[in-house]
Structure 1
């Protein structure tokens, strides 16, 4: 039964043009073709990436954060309360007004005290500035190296260089997918999962169907702006306001040019139009371009947030990562007013809140 499913999945007519079979892509006469079996190495390599990331964040990103004076904001902790803690863990982190009144009767606290407790408790669970700096440092390092490698591979059509470029990129995206649950979560969490899955499927298919050139161009195109975004985050967490702002502007320009101009009007145009000049459309053609379309829709989705942030920046308003989960402040009473003053002074120390996942807002 498994063999039958295997044979149906790898049916020539699904993945290859008419009059072409998998036998035609077997190595012969010194010519080497990409194979699906090459992809098996990406899963163990993804685990290696997770190990490398752990030591990088510990021995490189952490000292770098200290060198750049990345400081944590003091957070007021929620006092121990079994009743509220049980509700927080089992029922929800943001109780409705009726639930607040019920908890008030059960705990003997006022509604304001209940709301304050939940604000502090939510803030306790939010990732630290150091954690976010570590993640941004790791992604910046990989994307920068990958972009340089991608440029070299595009100019060098030698098969071994393309093989390792593909395997390393695929392994990295597998590692991102494996770690996404423990990484800093943003509002586009679901879109990030879709992006990683679509990228893995697209790269895998483009490899074993020998659309390597198109896949290489897509990878290099993405890396060209990703390292700029991560570097902007790093400098934002470090409080380098002007550097962060300038990097963000460069990132926005590169993102728009590469993903809303080059990607659809050059690469996607080539994958949609040119193949039909050589052979009739087949399932693999539709499948590949469907994955490309998914990525393009995600590009448009993220471009919307980027342009909103750029507009706020140009008009002089404070901007932040629109995808980020904001930390809540307390400024209603005497104790909270002091905490709020401390938060404001820390905000100035941390610089402009572009892409800052801990940007405080007034209640």
Structure 2
């Protein structure tokens, strides 16, 4: 059986699953759709539209599996989510001072978004572990990549016409920026998936062209950012005047212009703060949201922007190190067990997508971290015959379609 499947071969439950996982992997697109509809129908907001678009088909998929009496493996998610909840409760009991930060409804990094929301990144672990096959995971990833690529082209064109990007500073304020780091990470999805498809023999020239366009957007954005930064003060003054003439808030620009605020220094400061917190936390750390509680006093983001620092601050230099070692060992074992199967290929695809964890992301906020963890679990536990054929299928097999 090939790694790629025809849309016409999908059952109703497969279609429900495809809609659920594709929607989860491209939530930005769903949010944009909700905003567009909301301009016409005020009652439509992404607060409910996106969760409904994901979980209605997912609930139908689960119901169909029960009706068909096909197994559903809920226990892995129950175990993982229970561990996170236990960590949350321990933090509440041992560090009650964390509570206002943990449950701050005005902050996008609170537990309401990272753990307790129906679209929280950890939910990706549930959806992927319940996948009927690796082929549907791959198909969802491909469609999500197309949708995200289209959305990013629109974003790129809009920012080019506008002349600047809208970024968020360490205090949570929006400001005009020469670049958008988040945009580059979003486009990286298209680069990786399109390149994977091209080397898998799937419309190679089309996907190589898509990967090239994606790389162009990233590199051009970086180059333009460097040129703009070289003349930053002059450009910021011009943007400040333009915004002020329209009555817009330009406090962040004021701070940038007078030299009282620089995002470049923030990463160095985060490293210094994290080092101090690691010392304070000892072998078993400051607990869940210990980093947020301390760092958010200076920086709105509230986390170290480095995966190892986050592990060491939260779980301690001993606990965090053990978790990382065990995680890496299990990932290597999973890949070796799944070698030459679709799941091994999926691990290779998802691995570079968690690169952001090392420079500007938290594992609690990274959908790809939880997707990779779910694929790793599947590779470790599923019978090998359920891990799927290699991406090129059987030698001499007819060329299948994925949509």
Same fold (TM over 0.5): no
Q: Which has the larger radius of gyration?
A: 1
* TM-score (norm. length: structure 2): 0.28
